[in-house]
Amino acid sequence: MSMIETRDGTKLYVKDWGKGRPVILIHGWPLSADSWDDQALAIADAGMRAIAYDRRGFGRSEQPWDGYDYDTLSDDLADVIATTGAEDAALVGFSMGGG
């Protein structure tokens, strides 16, 4: 899986490694999911599943005109969780991704 569609139709790029309990990695401004590659590999090697995605407006995700408020960004995260089936995920974020 590399692209998912959010509830407002925005397409987000998703990276998904490994198997086991999911860990969702949320990047900060102005980065992308690629900033988590080293950590994602270590998480997958430890027997867990690492999921990272480019938030709207960043990386390979679409750049819609609006939707950069925290309500929409949290809806995007909920859509990533639902689409990947990662309901029991641990969330890890830094900078804007921690919001």
Domain ranges of the chain: 3-98
| Torsion, CA 66, CA 80, CA 43, CA 29, rounded to 10 | 0
1, pLDDT greater than 80? no
What's the CATH fold of domain 3-98?
Answer: Rossmann fold (3.40.50)
61, pLDDT greater than 90? yes
pLDDT tens digits, 28-45: 999 999 999 999 999 999
Q: What is the mean predicted confidence (pLDDT) over 65-94? A: 97
Q: Is the pTM here over 0.75, yes or no?
A: yes
Report yes or no: 43 and 21 within 8 Å, Cβ to Cβ. Answer: no
Pairing of strands 22-26, 90-93: parallel
Across all residues in the chain, what is the average pLDDT? Answer: 97
Non-local CB neighbours of 65 within 8 Å, separated by 6+ positions: none
